[in-house]
Amino acid sequence: MPDPVLVKGKACMVFGTQWGDEGKGKLVDILADEADVIARCAGGNNAGHTIVVGDAHYDFHLLPSGIISENTLSVIGNGVVVHIESMFAEAAKNEKKGLKNWQDRLVISDRAHIVFDLHQEIDGLQEVEKSAGGKSIGTTKKGIGPTYSSKTERTGLRMAELLGDFSEFSERFRTMVAGAQMRHSDLVVDVEAELAKYKELAEEVRPMVKDTVYVMYDALQKNQAVLVEGANAQMLDIDFGTFPYVTSSSCSVGGACTGLGLPPSKLERVFGVVKAYTTRVGGGAFPTEQLNDDGEKLQQVGAEFGVTTGRKRRCGWLDLVVVKYTHMINDLYSMMITKLDVLDDFAEIKVGIKYSHKGQPLDNFPACMDVLNEVEVEYVTLPGWQTSIKDCRTYDDLPENAKNYLKFIADFLGVPIQWIGVGPKRDSTIRVF
């Protein structure tokens, strides 16, 4: 048996290094057997993680991917925003695929803010307004941004309020609706119907809601291994991503502390998930995007459609400027390279290694999107392997050019590769050390 990757009495984190859809859920699933607790720290049901076990394809958006591990406690932290109805619908959908007894293994923070239907309506209205000005962000319209806005404005409502005095909750809900309608005259909310619905949902969700600060503290005191599952990805981070084409939460390692109440000293290892090429959904700069046959081939072979939205993903070559920037912020312990098999049929594979702007080399990742949209990318071209690697299960099984591609990535970043994904299934993974 290989040595354990997770550390007892500490927390380790899995997160995406690019613009999302890297395959984080697969690594969480691989590590689930070592974990005692698997926790979400940010985002909401705008995330999308697919787990393939045998013939079953589990799709998770709000529930932690580790929920299928029956020996593990799953935690939705205070940094997550929760659309309660969608959570139950997601669970019901996955129950049909084999998910069992999930209610007994899920804890939701009493400090987690609630995504209401009105937040989703506002999300759609805001996208229409931005589209009219030619500046659509391309959000999932799941109400995530408006909910975080309510949180920041201190008008939002949390699980704690829902499960407290319902008359007080009702009054605060009415105030929130009135304020939202002042800003969005087209917003229609049946307040009484919503309150009746949430009175029922409160009792359904009540057994799962706890103070997760104490849950996490207790787990670490008991020398348990905690795995934090990041949502979205570094380049969608509200502070360090390609603003304004980002999500509304902290997707970096800092989100593990603020979104779960974890002391920084307890965060031991950060595992970065890197897709072997680059994709993103929605608007925003994408320096290595390939609007040509190569991009179309990556999209088709990689089946690049969003789990949450179903939208076609934009595709391009691996951008190591992006991943290096991510490493600077998060100090990666090791990496998982996913979907390497998608590159099987390419005679040549390009890798972006440096940016320049108007002929001048750039030493940093640009904060200004006007600059990032205009950068020229310097590429290294590597020979492809032009043979299927789907059945490879050890590093030595890989063709030499595939090894060279991986070595180039690891050497450029100075970060070891610990796992390699060569297919969608759980066992389609090579562990390197």
Catalytic-residue membership of 21: yes
State which residues of the chain have pLDDT below 70: 1, 47-49, 129-140, 307-309
Q: Quick one: 228 exposed, middle or buried, by C-beta within 10 A (0-12, 13-18, 19+)?
A: buried
Q: State the catalytic residue, choosing from 61, 83, 142, 151.
A: 151
Which domains does the chain possess?
11-108+209-272 (3.40.440.10), 113-206 (1.10.300.10), 275-324+339-414+421-431 (3.90.170.10)
Sign (positive or negative) of CA dihedral 87, 93, 99, 101? positive
Of 62, 132, 54, nearest in space to 92 by CA = 62
Q: Token pair of 229, please?
A: 């599952």
62, 95, 176, 399 from 89: Cα distances, Å: 10, 10, 25, 44
DSSP structure string for 78-114? TTBEE-HHHHHHHHHHHHTTT---GGGGEEEETTPEE
pLDDT at 137: 57
- Nearest alpha-carbon partner for 83 in 38, 43, 31, 130: 43
Within 10 angstroms of residue 36's Cβ, the number of other Cβ atoms is 17
What tokens appear for 120 in the block? Answer: 């989703």
Quote the CA–CA distance of 201 and 411 in Å, as a whole number: 51
pLDDT at 136: 54
Angle at 67 between CA 250 and CA 31, to 5 degrees: 75
Residues that constitute the known binding site for GTP: 20-26, 48-50, 313, 339-341, 421-423
Instruction: Indicate if 151 belongs to the active site.
Output: yes
The pTM of the full predicted model, rounded to 2 decimals, is 0.92
CA of residue 85 relative to chain centroid, distance = 20
Q: Is 116 helix (H, G, I), strand (E, B) or coil?
A: coil
- Six-digit token string for 71: 């020996």
The catalytic position among 29, 49, 61, 123 is 49
Pairing type for strands 226-229 and 37-40 reads: parallel
Q: Tell me, what's the pLDDT at 231?
A: 86
> Is the four-CA dihedral 62, 66, 68, 70 of positive or negative sign?
negative
pLDDT at position 306, please?
72
3-state secondary structure at position 185: coil
Secondary structure (3-state) at 2: coil
For residue 38, count other CB atoms closer than 10 A to its CB: 25
Q: Which sign does the torsion angle of CA 417, 419, 422, 424 carry?
A: negative
- Max Cα–Cα distance, the chain, nearest Å: 67
CA neighbours within 13 Å on the CB side: how many for 104?
6
Structure tokens at 98: 């084999």
Residue whose entry in the numeric block shows the structure tokens 């995530």: 144
Let me know if 212 is exposed, middle or buried by CB neighbors in 10 A (0-12, 13-18, 19+).
Answer: buried
Sign of torsion, CA 167 172 177 182?
positive
Between CA 383 and CA 374 the distance in angstroms is: 28
- Angle at CA 432, nearest 5°, toward 429 and 433? 130
Contact 62, 90 (CB under 8 A): yes
Answer yes or no: are the C-beta atoms of 99 and 58 closer than 8 Å: yes
Among 21, 29, 123, 237, the active-site one is: 21
Beta bridge partners of 316: 278, 289
Using DSSP's 3-state secondary structure scheme, residue 160 falls into helix
Closest CA to 291 of 315, 318, 311: 315
- Residue 379 identity: Y
Closest alpha carbon to 70 in 29, 13, 26: 29
Sign for the pseudo-dihedral over CA of 110, 15, 127, 367: positive
Question: What is the per-residue pLDDT for 134?
Answer: 56
Q: Is there a contact between 48 and 19 (Cβ–Cβ < 8 Å)?
A: no
Other residues' Cβ atoms within 10 Å of the Cβ of residue 178: 11
Which residues make up each annotated binding site? 20-26, 46-50, 140, 154, 232, 247, 307-313, 339-341, 421-423
Question: Is 49 an annotated catalytic residue?
Answer: yes
